[in-house]
Amino acid sequence: MKKMLTTLAVVAALVAVPFTNTQAQDAKPLTEKQLELIKTNVLANLEHPSLEVRAGTMQLLIDMKETYPQYDLGYAVIPMMETLKSDPKPEFRILAALALYHLDSDLGRFAVERRAKFDDNERVAKHCASLVRSWGSQSGSDNFVAEVKKAL
């Protein structure tokens, strides 16, 4: 049951990515206070024991970068790298790699490259390699959505 809920949360997060692009046109600028609250909550939520909270926060980071590309979300790179490196669930490592891809930092790219080479899970390594290959070809209208591979 837990595995199914985790998978559903990750799939829902990945499916929502293409729908965020239309929001960027209507987004109002954020105040400094709002940005500080977002930062505090994101950092706390990335450490939360609930899988749903962590997955939702990773999706929020992707949505924030799509909606507000001018704001620096670099504070989330190190916690996302930690998730990518050491989370026991492959689905969360893939989502962390996808979030790092959207945050588009050199440090995040390095972490995704390392996971592509050294992750023990073949699926995670393939998704990370795919993200690395498409890293430089990002555009505002195209979103990269990780492929879901069914286990046979």
The rounded mean pLDDT for the chain is 82
Look at residue 30 and tell me if it is in a domain: no
Look at residue 60 and tell me if it is in a domain: yes
Q: Is the pTM of this model over 0.85?
A: no
The tally of domains found in the chain comes to 1
Give me the domain span that covers residue 70: 2-13+39-135
| Exposed / middle / buried, residue 125 (Cβ in 10 Å: 0-12, 13-18, 19+) | middle
Look at residue 150 and tell me if it is in a domain: no
Q: Show the CA angle centred on residue 20, arms to residues 132 and 98, nearest 5°.
A: 25
**Phi and psi at residue 28, to the nearest 5°:** -90, 145
Residue with tokens 């995040």: 108
For residue range 35-48, list pLDDT tens digits in order.
Answer: 999 999 999 999 99
